[in-house]
Amino acid sequence: MPIEPLLILELALLGLATGFLAGLLGIGGGMIMVPFISAMLDARGVAPGLAVKMAIATSMATIIFTSISSVRAHHKKGAVRWDIVKRLAPGIVLGAMVASLGVFALLKGALLYFCFAAFVMFSASQMFLDRKPAPSRQIPGTAGMVGAGGVIGFLSGLVGAGGGFVSVPFMTWCNVAIHNAVATSAALGFPIAVANVAGYIVAGQSLTGLPPQSFGYLWLPALVVIACCSVLMAPLGAKAAHALPVKKLKRVFACVLIVLAVYMAYKGILAV
């Protein structure tokens, strides 16, 4: 079945916007994509509970491509803390697999809306208040990093985001500079996305009521169009991130998240 031109246009605009924000804020774009993709699926007759799950899975899949494009731009500026990436990655993969293979399929769609809103609002409040970490606080040891990675991977798997909403506040809390935290979060988006997408595909093989061109929980038209457009804009967002002052970057991050948290909480109420 061919994809209607209007849908292609909508997905392309969404991809351009999320790609820029992924590079700017290190959030992988998932927090922007999920509300819009779920609305598009709702409009095409997909049940609300399934629509939000497909939106989460599809947005996560696009992060595989956006992350690569964004992190290249950050890496050229020497902003990625690869030592942190290596220490968080094992826990991230484990947490992501637990979420996407098990918990995600069992949760009701309305609860996922509320989970999305709650975690996003928490992250936004921390960024907006600009709380200063204790000067002596440092990145934790191996066990702490594996545990933190597990939490980041698990929560990302539930809400379809690249982990920036948890990893950026975590790193700034540990006295990592905000620009380094954003750049490192972009790099963490790749292992988060790969592990979660593998779980979504396996868990969604027995689903019914899917729209055309679906693969498990993935909605392939959205994945292809958004990924192609987002990779074009992610480097521009990364460039803008290095041009903005720290406080303004935090406030931009927080304002975007607050708007999306309120919207998804409203959608959750409607889905109950």
Q: Which residue has the tokens 């409607």?
A: 270
Q: Express each pLDDT in 138-187 by its tens digit.
A: 777 888 898 988 988 888 777 766 666 678 878 887 888 878 888 888 88
Which stretches of the chain are DSSP H helices? 5-25, 30-43, 48-76, 82-98, 104-106, 109-129, 142-159, 164-173, 178-203, 220-243, 246-271
Give the pLDDT confidence score for residue 225 in this predicted structure.
Answer: 93
- The three-class DSSP label of residue 163 is coil
Tell me the pLDDT band of 12, cut-offs 50, 70 and 90: very high
Handedness of CA 154, 257, 167, 241 (dihedral sign): positive
Could you tell me the residue ranges of all domains in the chain? 5-271
Give, in degrees to the nearest 5, the angle at Cα 265 between 261 and 266.
Answer: 120
Q: Express each pLDDT in 123-138 by its tens digit.
A: 677 667 765 545 556 7
Q: How far is CA 41 from each of CA 106, 119, 133, 206, 257, rounded to the nearest angstrom?
A: 20, 23, 41, 19, 22
User: What is the distance between the alpha carbons of residues 29 and 206, in angstroms, rounded to a whole number?
Assistant: 28
User: What is the distance between the alpha carbons of residues 108 and 105, in angstroms, rounded to a whole number?
Assistant: 8
